[in-house]
Amino acid sequence: MEGKECFVVSPIGAPGSDTRRRANQVFKHVVKPVFEYQGYSCTRGDTIEQSGHITTQVLEKILNAQVVVADLTDHNPNVFYELAIRHVTGKPFIQLIAQGQNPPFDIHGFRTIQLDHKDLDSAEEAKKSISQMLEGIENGDPVQTPVNYAINWNQLRKSENAEERGIADLKDQFNLLQHTVRKALNVSAQSDANNAAMVRYIEHLSEGRRMQSSDREILVDDRTSTSHDRWIDNCIGNSDPWHDRHGFSDEPPF
């Protein structure tokens, strides 16, 4: 097949930035070698050499390239936008993300290759995974995207077959459950963040010796845990001007 092309969408960043260095290293040492070995040209938005409007050229590549590789690292909104356009086409795509990060919930179910670009073993594993996925693409494996996935479920909902409609109903219930769980997790994460902020503030007051014993009546009650109560007592103790926390003199600080 002549003219096979892979187009890479990724965070690029300003020249000299860590984001740009990572993008260049992943493009040059991980993605490009795999595709060029299989006879593809491999380009990225900032490497398009033809003259013209860059946004139009990028969209043309996203729509028409045989394969699009999307690097989801740092959840860059431009990358998500470009990947969504690719999803609409129903054409093959491969997702990458930095080791330790996770793709957004809505595309979490689609295979995403994790990569630590500073680890040679991780880079080699990523190249193998890309090669395997490319082999499947060239063998004609069906492409699943959130878009055609949704279309398939809509077809089931409208089916004259009761069993297929039942499957669609189960899927809707599962989606509702996912939404409920995701909302609960977000609330939990916000609560954890709020608690952490309060801890930092109380410790800040303690460090500045601005807590008083009367504060215990506000911060401790019969619903707080024993470990919490001990921590509050310690903070109040540390706030005592006579308390030697960091090697202060035995004389009071006045």
Q: What is the pLDDT of residue 150?
A: 61
**124-128, 199-203, 223-227, 243-247: least confidently modelled range:** 243-247
Most confident of 45-49, 76-80, 101-105, 226-230: 76-80
In a domain, 247, yes or no: no
Structure tokens at 122: 């991780």
In a domain, 47, yes or no: yes
pLDDT at residue 42 is higher than 90: yes
Same domain, 141 and 181: no
Q: What is the span of the domain harbouring residue 227?
A: 175-239
In a domain, 44, yes or no: yes
Q: What is the pLDDT of residues 111-150, one digit of tens each?
A: 899 999 999 999 999 999 999 999 999 999 888 887 666 6
**19-23, 106-110, 134-138: least confidently modelled range:** 106-110
Q: Looking at 125, 155, 185, which one is the last position of a domain?
A: 155
Stretch 156-182: mean pLDDT: 63
pLDDT at residue 163 is higher than 80: no
The answer to whether the CB of 113 falls within 8 A of the CB of 132 is no
HEC string for 68-96: EEEECHHHCHHHHHHHHHHHHHCCCEEEE
**CA atoms of 209 and 230, how far apart (whole Å):** 18
In a domain, 65, yes or no: yes
Same domain, 138 and 104: yes
Nearest Cα neighbor of 140 from 71, 70, 66 is 66
The answer to whether the CB of 31 falls within 8 A of the CB of 69 is yes
Question: Residue 252's pLDDT band (boundaries 50, 70, 90)?
Answer: very low
Same domain, 150 and 180: no
Stretch 24-50: mean pLDDT: 90
In a domain, 72, yes or no: yes
Sheet-wide strand order for 112-115: 41-44, 5-9, 67-71, 93-98, 112-115
The answer to whether the CB of 206 falls within 8 A of the CB of 213 is no
Same domain, 46 and 134: yes
Angle between helix axes 162-207 and 226-239 (nearest 10 degrees) is 30
Same domain, 69 and 12: yes
- Record the pTM: 0.59
Same domain, 150 and 225: no
Q: Looking at 155, 184, 219, which one is the last position of a domain?
A: 155
In a domain, 165, yes or no: no
Q: What is the pLDDT of residue 132?
A: 96
Strands 93-98 and 41-44: unpaired
Q: What is the pLDDT of residue 251?
A: 36
What is the count of structural domains for the chain? 2
Question: Residue 83's pLDDT band (boundaries 50, 70, 90)?
Answer: very high
The answer to whether the CB of 74 falls within 8 A of the CB of 17 is no
Same domain, 182 and 76: no
Look over the chain and give the mean of its residue pLDDT values, rounded to a whole number. Answer: 79
Question: Residue 98's pLDDT band (boundaries 50, 70, 90)?
Answer: very high
pLDDT at residue 197 is higher than 70: no
The Cα-based distances of 30 to 5, 82, 247 in angstroms read 16, 21, 54
Same domain, 12 and 132: yes
Nearest Cα neighbor of 35 from 11, 63, 64, 8 is 8
Return the sign of the alpha-carbon dihedral for residues 124, 129, 132, 138: negative
Same domain, 45 and 11: yes
**CA atoms of 69 and 46, how far apart (whole Å):** 15
pLDDT at residue 200 is higher than 80: no
The answer to whether the CB of 31 falls within 8 A of the CB of 8 is yes
